[in-house]
Amino acid sequence: MKRTGAALAMIAMLMSRSPIATAHHSAAMFDFSKRQQLEGVVKEIRVINPHMTLTLVVSDGNGTRDVAFEGHSVNNFYRAGWRPNMVKVGDKIKVTFAPRKDGLDGGFVNAFVTAEGREIGFKPPGADTAAANSPAGRPEAK
């Protein structure tokens, strides 16, 4: 009987935390139909699961500020050609990203160019679906 109670308590605890995790990992806040670019100096980069985070120090017409991005998982980064230490704190890089829908700085990284000029890129979510549904993407249209 004690085991059943402990198991139920553990399940209840895990279920109470899952909505937070689900909301956090949603990409609904990004507009994948748009692409923007920013160039800046890497302040922080963490390529760990469940997804990468990147902070750039950007200096442009809007002043100098930190801009935060998130992106794909470690697995997707490796498949795209990224390797550890390819991007380091202090490097000047260019990021292509899907902007936030709320208009604030930052977004979801689709691609970047390293300080050495190496391009690492990803297909935006839904890119295959969009191509298949466009007239040019249909076999009968070719």
Residue 8 lies in a domain: no
Residue 98 lies in a domain: yes
For 75-119, how does the pLDDT look when each residue is reduced to its tens digit (9 = 90+)? 888 888 888 889 999 999 999 999 999 999 999 998 999 999 999
For 3-32, how does the pLDDT look when each residue is reduced to its tens digit (9 = 90+)? 665 655 555 555 554 444 444 557 889 999
Residue 138 lies in a domain: no
Residue 95 lies in a domain: yes
Residue 60 lies in a domain: yes
- Domain of 53 in residue numbering reads as 36-127
Residue 135 lies in a domain: no
For 28-83, how does the pLDDT look when each residue is reduced to its tens digit (9 = 90+)? 899 999 999 999 999 999 988 888 899 999 999 889 999 999 998 888 888 888 88
Residue 80 lies in a domain: yes
Q: How many DSSP H helices and E strands does the chain contain?
A: 3, 6
Tokens of 44: 């922080």
Residue 117 lies in a domain: yes
Q: How many domains does the chain divide into?
A: 1
Question: Which CATH number covers residue 47?
Answer: 2.40.50.1010
Nearest 10 degrees: Cα torsion 79, 83, 89, 93: -50
pLDDT at residue 121 in the model? 85
Distance in angstroms (rounded) separating the CA atoms of residues 88 and 38: 17
